[in-house]
Amino acid sequence: MRRRHPLPLAVSLQALAVLACALLVLTLPAPVDAQPGGSSGNRPFVGIWRLDPGKSHLPAPPNGFAVYRQYEDHGGGWMYHTVITITPRRTDFLFTAARYDSKQYPVYNAANLGSFIRGGERTPRTVEFTRIDANKFLWTDRFNGRVVAGGVCTVSADGNTLTITNQPPGQQTMTEQVFDRVSPGSLAQAPNAGFAPVLAQGAKPRPGTEAAARRQIEALQATGQPLFSDMVARKRPAPDPQLAARVSAFFRNLGALRSITFEGVLPNGYDAYRATFANGQLNMGIGPLSPDGKVTGLSLLLPRP
Protein backbone atom coordinates (compact mmCIF):
# COMPACT_ATOMS: atom_id res chain seq x y z
CA MET A 1 0.00 0.00 0.00
CA ARG A 2 1.35 3.38 -0.96
CA ARG A 3 2.30 5.56 1.99
CA ARG A 4 0.15 8.61 2.47
CA HIS A 5 1.87 11.91 2.00
CA PRO A 6 2.61 14.00 5.06
CA LEU A 7 2.25 17.67 5.61
CA PRO A 8 5.39 19.47 4.41
CA LEU A 9 7.67 20.98 7.03
CA ALA A 10 9.73 23.77 5.47
CA VAL A 11 12.99 23.55 7.40
CA SER A 12 14.84 26.81 7.89
CA LEU A 13 18.54 26.47 8.50
CA GLN A 14 18.11 27.80 12.03
CA ALA A 15 15.51 25.09 12.77
CA LEU A 16 17.69 22.10 11.94
CA ALA A 17 18.52 21.75 15.64
CA VAL A 18 15.17 20.08 16.23
CA LEU A 19 15.17 18.03 13.05
CA ALA A 20 15.91 14.66 14.62
CA CYS A 21 13.00 14.98 17.05
CA ALA A 22 10.64 16.77 14.70
CA LEU A 23 10.78 13.98 12.16
CA LEU A 24 9.00 11.75 14.67
CA VAL A 25 6.30 14.20 15.77
CA LEU A 26 3.57 15.89 13.77
CA THR A 27 1.86 18.80 15.50
CA LEU A 28 -1.24 20.11 13.78
CA PRO A 29 -2.64 23.58 14.44
CA ALA A 30 -5.76 23.91 16.52
CA PRO A 31 -8.97 24.20 14.48
CA VAL A 32 -9.46 27.81 13.52
CA ASP A 33 -12.95 27.94 15.01
CA ALA A 34 -11.40 27.25 18.40
CA GLN A 35 -9.44 30.49 18.35
CA PRO A 36 -10.24 32.96 21.11
CA GLY A 37 -11.60 36.39 20.50
CA GLY A 38 -13.99 35.56 17.69
CA SER A 39 -17.52 36.88 17.44
CA SER A 40 -20.32 34.34 17.20
CA GLY A 41 -21.91 36.13 14.23
CA ASN A 42 -19.22 34.87 11.88
CA ARG A 43 -19.13 31.29 13.19
CA PRO A 44 -20.98 29.66 10.25
CA PHE A 45 -18.13 30.64 7.91
CA VAL A 46 -15.18 29.98 10.21
CA GLY A 47 -13.16 26.91 9.27
CA ILE A 48 -11.49 25.19 6.32
CA TRP A 49 -13.38 24.37 3.13
CA ARG A 50 -12.40 22.17 0.16
CA LEU A 51 -13.85 22.59 -3.34
CA ASP A 52 -15.97 19.69 -4.58
CA PRO A 53 -15.82 19.89 -8.41
CA GLY A 54 -18.51 17.23 -8.74
CA LYS A 55 -21.07 19.39 -6.96
CA SER A 56 -19.95 22.66 -8.55
CA HIS A 57 -21.05 24.24 -11.83
CA LEU A 58 -17.66 25.03 -13.34
CA PRO A 59 -15.66 24.26 -16.46
CA ALA A 60 -13.95 20.88 -16.11
CA PRO A 61 -10.84 21.39 -13.95
CA PRO A 62 -7.47 19.87 -14.91
CA ASN A 63 -6.05 16.85 -13.11
CA GLY A 64 -4.44 17.82 -9.84
CA PHE A 65 -6.56 20.97 -9.44
CA ALA A 66 -7.74 21.83 -5.92
CA VAL A 67 -9.05 24.88 -4.07
CA TYR A 68 -9.13 25.42 -0.31
CA ARG A 69 -10.65 28.32 1.60
CA GLN A 70 -10.02 29.25 5.21
CA TYR A 71 -12.04 31.76 7.22
CA GLU A 72 -10.70 32.97 10.57
CA ASP A 73 -12.57 35.18 13.03
CA HIS A 74 -10.15 37.60 14.70
CA GLY A 75 -12.69 39.51 16.74
CA GLY A 76 -14.09 43.00 16.38
CA GLY A 77 -15.84 41.96 13.17
CA TRP A 78 -12.52 41.21 11.44
CA MET A 79 -12.39 38.11 9.27
CA TYR A 80 -9.25 36.73 7.61
CA HIS A 81 -9.98 35.05 4.26
CA THR A 82 -7.31 32.80 2.68
CA VAL A 83 -7.87 31.01 -0.65
CA ILE A 84 -5.27 28.49 -1.87
CA THR A 85 -5.48 27.27 -5.48
CA ILE A 86 -3.36 24.27 -6.45
CA THR A 87 -2.56 23.28 -10.03
CA PRO A 88 -0.10 20.64 -11.23
CA ARG A 89 2.72 23.13 -11.71
CA ARG A 90 1.78 26.18 -9.66
CA THR A 91 0.11 27.20 -6.43
CA ASP A 92 -1.16 30.68 -5.61
CA PHE A 93 -3.19 32.29 -2.87
CA LEU A 94 -5.54 35.16 -2.20
CA PHE A 95 -5.67 36.85 1.19
CA THR A 96 -7.67 39.66 2.73
CA ALA A 97 -8.53 40.91 6.18
CA ALA A 98 -11.99 42.48 6.07
CA ARG A 99 -15.23 43.24 7.83
CA TYR A 100 -18.65 42.52 6.35
CA ASP A 101 -19.52 46.20 6.27
CA SER A 102 -19.80 47.08 2.52
CA LYS A 103 -16.36 48.72 2.50
CA GLN A 104 -13.50 47.87 0.15
CA TYR A 105 -10.49 45.97 1.50
CA PRO A 106 -7.22 45.11 -0.28
CA VAL A 107 -6.69 41.60 -1.66
CA TYR A 108 -3.22 40.13 -2.14
CA ASN A 109 -1.90 37.24 -4.18
CA ALA A 110 1.75 36.15 -4.38
CA ALA A 111 2.66 38.63 -7.12
CA ASN A 112 1.17 41.81 -5.71
CA LEU A 113 2.15 40.93 -2.14
CA GLY A 114 5.73 40.64 -3.38
CA SER A 115 5.44 44.03 -5.07
CA PHE A 116 4.12 45.52 -1.85
CA ILE A 117 6.93 44.06 0.25
CA ARG A 118 9.66 45.09 -2.19
CA GLY A 119 8.54 48.57 -3.04
CA GLY A 120 5.34 49.42 -1.18
CA GLU A 121 3.24 49.11 -4.35
CA ARG A 122 -0.45 48.88 -3.48
CA THR A 123 -2.50 46.01 -4.79
CA PRO A 124 -5.01 46.87 -7.54
CA ARG A 125 -7.44 44.28 -6.18
CA THR A 126 -10.10 44.96 -3.56
CA VAL A 127 -13.13 43.12 -2.21
CA GLU A 128 -16.18 44.16 -0.24
CA PHE A 129 -18.61 42.06 1.75
CA THR A 130 -22.18 42.90 2.72
CA ARG A 131 -23.95 40.78 5.30
CA ILE A 132 -27.39 39.45 4.29
CA ASP A 133 -28.00 37.18 7.26
CA ALA A 134 -26.03 34.91 9.61
CA ASN A 135 -25.31 32.39 6.85
CA LYS A 136 -25.04 34.60 3.79
CA PHE A 137 -23.19 37.63 2.45
CA LEU A 138 -22.70 39.43 -0.86
CA TRP A 139 -19.19 39.81 -2.25
CA THR A 140 -17.81 42.15 -4.94
CA ASP A 141 -14.33 42.05 -6.46
CA ARG A 142 -12.77 45.13 -8.03
CA PHE A 143 -9.60 45.67 -10.06
CA ASN A 144 -8.37 49.27 -10.15
CA GLY A 145 -11.80 50.30 -8.94
CA ARG A 146 -13.75 48.47 -11.66
CA VAL A 147 -16.13 45.67 -10.67
CA VAL A 148 -14.86 42.40 -12.21
CA ALA A 149 -16.78 39.74 -10.27
CA GLY A 150 -19.42 39.30 -7.62
CA GLY A 151 -21.99 37.01 -6.15
CA VAL A 152 -23.32 35.42 -2.99
CA CYS A 153 -21.55 33.28 -0.39
CA THR A 154 -23.85 30.96 1.58
CA VAL A 155 -23.30 28.40 4.33
CA SER A 156 -25.90 25.63 4.47
CA ALA A 157 -28.23 25.24 7.46
CA ASP A 158 -26.24 22.24 8.73
CA GLY A 159 -22.99 24.24 8.46
CA ASN A 160 -21.20 21.68 6.29
CA THR A 161 -21.49 23.18 2.79
CA LEU A 162 -20.30 26.52 1.45
CA THR A 163 -21.70 27.72 -1.89
CA ILE A 164 -20.24 30.69 -3.77
CA THR A 165 -21.88 32.08 -6.89
CA ASN A 166 -20.12 34.37 -9.34
CA GLN A 167 -21.58 36.30 -12.27
CA PRO A 168 -19.08 38.80 -13.74
CA PRO A 169 -20.57 42.03 -15.13
CA GLY A 170 -21.87 41.71 -18.68
CA GLN A 171 -21.82 37.91 -18.71
CA GLN A 172 -24.90 35.71 -18.89
CA THR A 173 -23.27 32.61 -17.40
CA MET A 174 -23.06 32.21 -13.63
CA THR A 175 -20.62 29.80 -12.03
CA GLU A 176 -21.19 28.08 -8.72
CA GLN A 177 -18.47 26.70 -6.46
CA VAL A 178 -19.49 24.21 -3.78
CA PHE A 179 -17.13 23.55 -0.88
CA ASP A 180 -17.27 20.89 1.83
CA ARG A 181 -16.18 21.65 5.37
CA VAL A 182 -13.05 19.75 6.40
CA SER A 183 -11.10 19.46 9.62
CA PRO A 184 -7.38 20.34 9.80
CA GLY A 185 -6.65 16.76 10.81
CA SER A 186 -8.25 15.34 7.69
CA LEU A 187 -5.85 17.36 5.54
CA ALA A 188 -2.98 15.39 7.02
CA GLN A 189 -4.70 12.06 6.38
CA ALA A 190 -5.92 12.54 2.81
CA PRO A 191 -3.34 11.46 0.20
CA ASN A 192 -3.76 14.51 -2.06
CA ALA A 193 -5.33 16.96 0.37
CA GLY A 194 -4.29 20.45 1.30
CA PHE A 195 -0.54 20.71 1.50
CA ALA A 196 0.42 17.25 0.20
CA PRO A 197 2.13 16.69 -3.15
CA VAL A 198 -0.17 16.72 -6.16
CA LEU A 199 0.70 14.09 -8.78
CA ALA A 200 -1.09 15.05 -11.98
CA GLN A 201 -1.31 12.77 -14.97
CA GLY A 202 1.87 13.21 -17.02
CA ALA A 203 3.58 15.38 -14.38
CA LYS A 204 7.36 15.21 -14.54
CA PRO A 205 10.07 16.59 -12.28
CA ARG A 206 11.92 19.69 -13.36
CA PRO A 207 15.29 18.99 -14.97
CA GLY A 208 18.06 18.72 -12.42
CA THR A 209 15.98 18.56 -9.22
CA GLU A 210 16.53 14.84 -8.58
CA ALA A 211 20.29 15.19 -8.87
CA ALA A 212 20.11 18.26 -6.61
CA ALA A 213 18.13 16.26 -4.02
CA ARG A 214 20.81 13.56 -4.02
CA ARG A 215 23.56 16.13 -3.50
CA GLN A 216 21.71 17.71 -0.59
CA ILE A 217 21.22 14.32 1.09
CA GLU A 218 24.90 13.48 0.66
CA ALA A 219 25.88 16.82 2.23
CA LEU A 220 23.49 16.39 5.17
CA GLN A 221 24.87 12.90 5.80
CA ALA A 222 28.48 14.05 5.60
CA THR A 223 28.42 17.47 7.27
CA GLY A 224 25.02 17.93 8.88
CA GLN A 225 24.38 21.01 6.73
CA PRO A 226 22.80 21.65 3.34
CA LEU A 227 25.14 21.97 0.38
CA PHE A 228 25.25 25.77 0.41
CA SER A 229 27.43 25.96 -2.68
CA ASP A 230 24.60 24.31 -4.61
CA MET A 231 21.98 26.83 -3.43
CA VAL A 232 21.03 30.39 -4.35
CA ALA A 233 23.05 32.72 -2.13
CA ARG A 234 21.19 33.77 1.01
CA LYS A 235 22.25 34.87 4.47
CA ARG A 236 23.50 31.80 6.28
CA PRO A 237 23.36 31.10 10.02
CA ALA A 238 26.54 31.08 12.04
CA PRO A 239 28.24 27.66 12.10
CA ASP A 240 27.07 25.38 14.93
CA PRO A 241 29.35 22.32 15.17
CA GLN A 242 27.15 20.57 17.76
CA LEU A 243 24.03 21.04 15.64
CA ALA A 244 25.81 19.83 12.52
CA ALA A 245 27.02 16.72 14.34
CA ARG A 246 23.51 15.83 15.52
CA VAL A 247 21.97 16.36 12.08
CA SER A 248 24.74 14.40 10.39
CA ALA A 249 24.27 11.51 12.83
CA PHE A 250 20.54 11.48 12.18
CA PHE A 251 21.01 11.24 8.42
CA ARG A 252 23.77 8.65 8.74
CA ASN A 253 21.46 6.50 10.89
CA LEU A 254 19.08 6.33 7.95
CA GLY A 255 21.76 4.28 6.21
CA ALA A 256 22.68 4.15 2.56
CA LEU A 257 20.45 5.93 0.07
CA ARG A 258 18.74 3.31 -2.09
CA SER A 259 16.37 5.30 -4.30
CA ILE A 260 14.69 8.63 -4.91
CA THR A 261 11.14 8.63 -6.27
CA PHE A 262 9.33 11.64 -7.74
CA GLU A 263 6.07 12.09 -5.79
CA GLY A 264 4.53 15.12 -7.47
CA VAL A 265 4.52 18.88 -7.00
CA LEU A 266 4.10 20.63 -3.67
CA PRO A 267 1.75 23.64 -3.35
CA ASN A 268 4.78 25.93 -3.20
CA GLY A 269 5.92 24.63 -6.60
CA TYR A 270 8.75 22.45 -5.27
CA ASP A 271 9.28 19.00 -6.79
CA ALA A 272 8.51 16.40 -4.10
CA TYR A 273 10.69 13.32 -3.72
CA ARG A 274 10.57 10.29 -1.43
CA ALA A 275 14.08 9.17 -0.49
CA THR A 276 14.34 5.53 0.57
CA PHE A 277 17.28 4.56 2.76
CA ALA A 278 18.40 1.25 4.21
CA ASN A 279 16.76 2.14 7.54
CA GLY A 280 13.85 4.40 6.64
CA GLN A 281 12.35 6.99 4.34
CA LEU A 282 12.40 10.76 4.12
CA ASN A 283 10.32 13.09 1.97
CA MET A 284 11.82 16.31 0.68
CA GLY A 285 11.04 19.16 -1.67
CA ILE A 286 13.45 20.82 -4.09
CA GLY A 287 12.66 24.23 -5.51
CA PRO A 288 13.14 25.05 -9.20
CA LEU A 289 16.75 25.52 -10.21
CA SER A 290 17.96 29.02 -11.03
CA PRO A 291 19.35 29.80 -14.52
CA ASP A 292 22.85 28.96 -13.23
CA GLY A 293 21.68 25.62 -11.79
CA LYS A 294 21.36 26.61 -8.12
CA VAL A 295 18.64 25.24 -5.83
CA THR A 296 16.12 28.00 -4.99
CA GLY A 297 14.55 26.25 -2.02
CA LEU A 298 14.77 23.13 0.16
CA SER A 299 12.16 21.56 2.42
CA LEU A 300 12.01 18.37 4.44
CA LEU A 301 8.74 16.51 4.93
CA LEU A 302 7.57 14.71 8.02
CA PRO A 303 7.27 10.97 7.42
CA ARG A 304 4.05 9.46 8.73
CA PRO A 305 4.67 7.11 11.69
Could you tell me the pLDDT band of residue 268, with boundaries at 50, 70 and 90?
Answer: low
Burial 189-204, CB ≥16 within 10 A → b, else e:
eeeebbbbbbbbeebe
Higher pLDDT, 40 or 134: 134
Residues 273-300: pLDDT tens digits? 888 988 888 888 888 888 888 888 887 7
Asked if residue 112 has pLDDT above 80, the reply is: yes
Average pLDDT, the chain: 76
Sheet with 91-98, side-by-side order of all strands: 91-98, 79-86, 66-73, 47-51, 175-182, 161-166, 146-155, 136-143, 125-133, 101-106
What local confidence, expressed as pLDDT, does residue 220 receive?
85
What local confidence, expressed as pLDDT, does residue 184 receive?
61
Asked if residue 230 has pLDDT above 60, the reply is: yes
Nearest in space to 128 (alpha carbons), one of 150, 109, 158: 150
* CA angle, 45 then 48 then 52, to 5°: 100
Q: What average pLDDT does range 20-40 have in this prediction?
A: 32
What local confidence, expressed as pLDDT, does residue 36 receive?
32
Asked if residue 3 has pLDDT above 80, the reply is: no
Looking at the chain, the whole-number percentage of residues with pLDDT higher than 70 is 73
Count CB neighbours of 101 within 10 A: 11
Q: Residue 243: which H helix or E strand, with range?
A: helix 241-253
The domains of the chain, with CATH numbers, are 8-28+198-301 (3.10.450), 32-182 (2.40.128.20)
Higher pLDDT, 260 or 268: 260
Asked if residue 303 has pLDDT above 60, the reply is: no
pTM, 2 dp: 0.52
Asked if residue 9 has pLDDT above 70, the reply is: no
What are 226's strand-pairing partners?
none
Name which of 105-109, 167-171, 226-230 the model is least confident about. Answer: 167-171
Could you tell me the pLDDT band of residue 60, with boundaries at 50, 70 and 90?
Answer: low
Residues 67-102: pLDDT tens digits? 899 999 988 899 999 998 887 667 888 999 999 999
Name which of 117-131, 141-155, 217-231 the model is least confident about. Answer: 217-231
Question: 144-153 contacts: CB < 8 A, separation 24 or more?
Answer: 153/45, 153/129
Q: What average pLDDT does range 55-73 have in this prediction?
A: 81
Those residues whose C-beta lies under 8 Å from the C-beta of residue 276, and which sit 6 or more positions away, are: 257, 258, 259, 260, 261
